[in-house]
Structure 1
Amino acid sequence: MRAMRRKVMLIAMVCCALLVTACNSGNNAPTASESTASSPSGSASNAEGSASEAPKEEYVIKVLTQAAMKVKRSDETKVGQVVKDKFNIVFEYVQTPGNYADKLNLMLAGGDYPEIITIQDNATFDKYVRAGALLPLDDFVANAPEFAKRYSEQIPLWRLSAYDGKLYKWEGMVPVDFRNYVEVNDIGVRTDVLKQQGYPDLLSTDDYIQFLKQGLQDNPTTNGQKTLGMIVPFAEPWGMQGISSIMYEKGGRYTAAAGNMGVIWNQVDQKFEDMMMNEYVKEGLVFFNKLYREGILDKDSFTDKYDQFAEKLNSGRALSSWYVVWGLNATNQGLIEAGLPDIQYINMPVRSMTQVERNEKRQIRVEDTRPFAIYSITKNAKHPERIQELLAWAATEEGRILLQSGFEGEQYTIVDGKRVPTEAYKKMLADPDSDEKIGLGGFEFLGNVLTSGEDGVPYNMSLDPSIQDELGLTQQARDAYSALGWSNSKDYYLQTGESAHTGVAGTIAIDTTSELGALHQRMVDFRVKNSTSLIIKPKSDEEFEALYQSVISDYQKLNPEQIVNEYNRLYQEKKTQVDQLK
């Protein structure tokens, strides 16, 4: 889904601190004892050595990065200097432009990969494991209790991804507390139209049809152009295949853990079900058909890709956008700069009529694994035991706070036993170049987490919803949420949702080269083709139902239950394997 665009916006608005880098060394870098009052535990407690031990030589480790790092070495930063003081380890950042997977494949073939390697997909990870390039971490985990505890849910899943059941990796941005990282993509709504209609409590699909129909009547043009009711980039590969059916995730039973192929994941009953025949998928298609019939859905949505969609959104012409809401703040800033400050967008919830009636807690997907942020120690490591000492310390409370929050008195103060971000920290998030001496974001390969510390504050303090809104939303957007009665932009979802961990379900896939894999693709192609017809062709509710029944009758001739059954068989098989690996 335009992965790079989405990644940039999410990181900029939600995980800003993860990318903050530094470039000048601090002359008065705090010592480890100054960074926190606690001391490391487990195997990390001996990292500095006793007075009788000889000091360890400086250990410089190269790490590959595709980020625009301004520093060459980690000890040019205050955080990096603490790491050096404690472990005498320094990381040298090596820029790696171009196709990263191709680079890793070439390095594997030549055996010249670095001591710590970043891998961005499970296929490449599997190649490295089978080639014997990665060092197993099972003995390390047995002697690093805080690492084992912090990643207790992830470690069995990480082992599952290796053909021999051993542990060869750790990952970044897991585990996750959904209260810190609420990723919900519903409907972007124009705030001036909300104000015109008295800030209605929009939720059901009928609510939106009434709201958008009235909005078009009240605002036939916007800045000299025809106003559009709802825009969607259906022409993207993930458009009709993924987001035309995504209504299922808005209720209280399903999540998108299975992706956008032929099945969906029932989080409540812990099983896979057919996507095409799901009642919520049908209701979503009914919704789009009514929008189309009412002239609310932009008819170019079926040919618009992201660029055309973004152009319409950025002009302010659209009253709403479906699902693609991750760029709303950039749109809002652009509208302000264009002299249209009254036109702003906010993300608002939607539910089908049945979902509203059932009023169940929404299942908000929480990823337990991040296969695009894999880190491993390779057999080329000169001193793997020293890397493991550092990795064990990074999993401690001391390590996590230093690496993700910074220093007391500079990035945060302690009030009633809790970390409170300073104005300097907030300034740093808003303008990463304003303070380049800290080093937050230079150690993602030690496993940043999206959970909270023992004080209840997120390790990455920018994940606090109030801070996200203060720095990520325009004043007009914040005012709109306030007028709706929300305390912050995530308030509704936190009140009405609950975490739904992907677990084993997120790892299930059918071999695409197999006969079943071919059948699975035919199911997807059938759904994509007929979803378009179901949105466009029916002229009434009765016509929709007749066409839908005809489509389902043809669909069942494919014997789609074979795929559903195979997914559930694989799930039970992998679940048993994970239980054995715990």
Structure 2
Amino acid sequence: MKISQLSYVLLSVSLVLLLAGCSGANSGGKSSAPSASADPAAGEKKTPVTFTYFNAAVAGKDANTNETVLGKLLEDQTGVNFKMEYLVGDLNTKLGVMIAGGDLPDVVVPDSGIDKMLDAKAFIPLNDLLDQYAPNLKKLYGPYWDQMASEDGNIYVIPFAASNGFVPDMYQPGAFYIQQGVLKEFGYPKIQTLDEYFDLIKKYKEKYPQIDGGDTIGFETLTDDWRFFTLTNPAPNLNGLPNEGEVFVDMETKKAAVTGDKDFMKRWLQKLNEANSEGLLDKESLVAKYDQYIAKLSSGRVLGFFDYGWQIVPAVQNLVQAGNDDRNFIGFPLVFEKGTKDQYLDPPTFVTNRGIGITTRAKDPARIIQYFDNMVKEENQKLLFWGEQGKTYEVDDKGRFYRTEEQIAQIQNPEFQQSYGFSYFSYYWPMGAGLFEDGNAYFPDRQPEVVEKSYTEGDKRILEAYGLKVFTDVYSPPDERKWYPVWSANKQQGSKEQLFEQKKMDLQRKWFPKLILAAPDKFDAMWGDYVADFNKLDVKAYEDWANSVVQDRLAGKKR
């Protein structure tokens, strides 16, 4: 599967929550099903106003939305501008300081710190404002309405991607990435297993110990802060399982079990241990920060790594601008054993534990919710994802959206993405997904007419060599899992399941680097010590909770 420049320029693959807010006072009210109401857009006030927006989910360049083309168009419609600030440093520390000091922006995207914000009652409920001002939000999220209310009946979270139809991802979510030049060097071999992957990397590193004057890095990993899942998630994937978080669910029994002490986790870590002993693993990556990781990938010296497309956007952009296809990456859904059906592609899902919230310090929550509601009008969704017809996309005589090679080249430029606004509006705001009413894809990177034109010459060589039309043709289709993903279930701060996850992560942060860097003949004994420590955690209580999530979702209940 491909990590073409366009896929990361426009949109990531994974889904998160959107929180929006209520009126100036903390008005509550129970959740109700969507009802028809008049669109207030025609009468809404246009007096210019600037709100503050903090995004704790991703690094970015601070800016005002009205400094971008898209943001200015939305300001012309609504009179609203957002001053955007992005996370620098530790997420929980930043949110903790905001909460303790009461210095809250108008709008916050808290990412994994959502429980911290909710427990502090830093967000206001949405119910009354949704009823009064948000007909477009209610229409878009109508199919998911019953899943959006919290235990008190209030809606605090509106998930980002309310999907209207499933559109296959033509790029990859999670994947084992490898340099195109490695594949070309050895005649584009078919890679299915982890062993084949590392064997190829080893051969190339031995043949080319240096790249562009620097030491060749065989394999890079990422463990920084909340991104530690990048190290742990490959284990179930390699065993033919999807990413459910801390558990996997048996397809026949529908029973959940933790992943942390299973043989497939051991096998994955033992492979990294072997790679380290052979000089293929970059030891520094076990302690590196995210920006250092991106710098390594951007250097062109890294041969392989596991990651998700949305996490490596900056590196991909840097490599694309460098113009050497051999140094860019493509990914494969590897498994331990040939014949195992991979499950890297996510089935259609609705994630409810991430989002954007309007805080208790917001100056005018009604105005903010009106702005969000205006964003999700279909014509504005097309604007935010596709841009302007005749400038950033075209329409053929059948009504299909496409982009010319010149438009694609323009959008590949990171400076254009920022100035136009694609890099700011392609995620972390209210949004739909899937298909528009006219059959075009919401996201250009899922529109075949765009994808085919976005391929570089190196991409085309690989497609031809592997007999593929698009790179995701190497992925198996996802199996239906009505409970998927378990990791998205809401957990209260201080609950047994939340404490288990924190203690488990602390334990793995302690043990996994030791296991990876250990002498190979010490690995088995150390794994036994780790498992003994792992089993001191309240595994049963966590599995009981996970199984309750699975059963509730099978029964159609919100979790």
Q: Which runs of 5+ in 1 are unaligned?
A: 1-7, 17-40, 49-54, 84-88
| Match 2:185 to one of 166, 188, 196 | 196
Is 2:468 aligned against 1:486? yes
Distance 1:516 1:80 in 2: 43
Q: 1:15, 1:460 within 8 Å by CA — same for their partners in 2?
A: no
3-state DSSP class of the match of 2:63? coil
Report the structure number with the largest CA radius of gyration. 1
Distance 1:238 1:97 in 2: 16
Tell me which residue corresponds to 2:432.
449
Tell me which residue corresponds to 1:461.
444
Deviations 1:307-364 (A, max 9, x none): 555555444333323437725424524654xxxx37413132143324x333254452
Change (3 A) 1:580 1:138: farther
| Match 2:276 to one of 271, 274, 292 | 292
Tell me which residue corresponds to 2:218.
229
Change (3 A) 1:425 1:331: closer
Give the TM-score taking structure 2 as reference length: 0.72
What's the CA shift for 1:197?
0.9
Change (3 A) 1:250 1:535: same
3-state DSSP class of the match of 2:177? strand
3-state DSSP class of the match of 2:52? strand
Is 2:114 aligned against 1:122? yes
What's the CA shift for 1:211?
1.6
Q: 2:296, 2:302 within 8 Å by CA — same for their partners in 1?
A: yes
| Match 1:206 to one of 192, 195, 198 | 195
Distance 1:147 1:287 in 2: 47
Mapping 1:66-465, distance limit 5 Å: 67-69=62-64, 71=66, 77-78=72-73, 80-81=75-76, 83=77, 89-94=78-83, 101=95, 105=99, 117-120=107-110, 121-123=113-115, 125-126=117-118, 130=121, 133-137=124-128, 140=131, 144=135, 147-152=137-142, 154-160=144-150, 163-175=151-163, 177=166, 179-180=168-169, 183-233=172-222, 236-237=224-225, 242-244=230-232, 246-255=234-243, 257-258=244-245, 263-266=246-249, 268=251, 271-306=255-290, 309-310=293-294, 312-323=296-307, 326=312, 327-333=314-320, 336=323, 341=324, 343-354=326-337, 356-364=338-346, 368-369=350-351, 373-376=355-358, 384=366, 395-410=376-391, 411-421=393-403, 426=408, 429-431=411-413, 447-464=430-447
Q: 2:7, 2:171 within 8 Å by CA — same for their partners in 1?
A: no
Change (3 A) 1:57 1:318: closer
Distance 2:504 2:275 in 1: 26
Deviations 1:252-281 (A, max 9, x none): 4331x43xxxx3243846554222222322
Give the TM-score taking structure 1 as reference length: 0.69
3-state DSSP class of the match of 1:358? coil
Q: Which amino acid aligns with 1:287?
A: K
Q: 1:216, 1:227 within 8 Å by CA — same for their partners in 2?
A: yes
Q: 1:13, 1:468 within 8 Å by CA — same for their partners in 2?
A: no
Q: 1:516, 1:563 within 8 Å by CA — same for their partners in 2?
A: yes
Deviations 1:440-489 (A, max 9, x none): 76797872223221233222435536646755x75435543443333334
Q: Which amino acid aligns with 1:204?
A: T
Tell me which residue corresponds to 2:24.
none
Distance 1:567 1:77 in 2: 46
3-state DSSP class of the match of 2:187? coil
Count of aligned residue pairs for this structure pair: 514
Distance 2:507 2:428 in 1: 42
Distance 2:71 2:510 in 1: 55
Q: 2:218, 2:282 within 8 Å by CA — same for their partners in 1?
A: yes
Change (3 A) 1:387 1:559: closer
What's the CA shift for 1:438?
7.9
Pairwise CA RMSD of aligned residues? 4.9
Change (3 A) 1:456 1:409: same
Distance 2:365 2:320 in 1: 49
| Match 1:561 to one of 539, 545, 549 | 539
| Match 1:505 to one of 474, 478, 486 | 486
Change (3 A) 1:198 1:317: same
Change (3 A) 1:424 1:136: farther
Tell me which residue corresponds to 1:43.
37
Q: 1:419, 1:455 within 8 Å by CA — same for their partners in 2?
A: no
Deviations 1:118-142 (A, max 9, x none): 44352465268x5794442487299
Q: 2:441, 2:447 within 8 Å by CA — same for their partners in 1?
A: yes
| Match 2:51 to one of 63, 73, 94 | 63
Distance 2:403 2:461 in 1: 23
Change (3 A) 1:565 1:193: closer
Change (3 A) 1:94 1:348: closer
Q: Which runs of 5+ in 2 are unaligned?
A: 14-34, 55-61, 89-93
What's the CA shift for 1:223?
3.8
Change (3 A) 1:279 1:142: farther
What's the CA shift for 1:204?
0.2
Change (3 A) 1:288 1:477: same
Distance 1:437 1:535 in 2: 43
Change (3 A) 1:434 1:237: closer
Change (3 A) 1:575 1:318: closer
Is 2:549 aligned against 1:571? yes
Distance 1:311 1:407 in 2: 33
Sequence identity (%): 16
Q: Which amino acid aligns with 1:273?
A: A
Change (3 A) 1:404 1:276: closer
Deviations 1:128-180 (A, max 9, x none): 8x579444248729994x644531454334312xx512224534344485624
3-state DSSP class of the match of 1:348? strand
Q: 1:252, 1:361 within 8 Å by CA — same for their partners in 2?
A: yes
Distance 1:427 1:195 in 2: 24
Change (3 A) 1:351 1:11: closer
Q: 2:115, 2:492 within 8 Å by CA — same for their partners in 1?
A: no
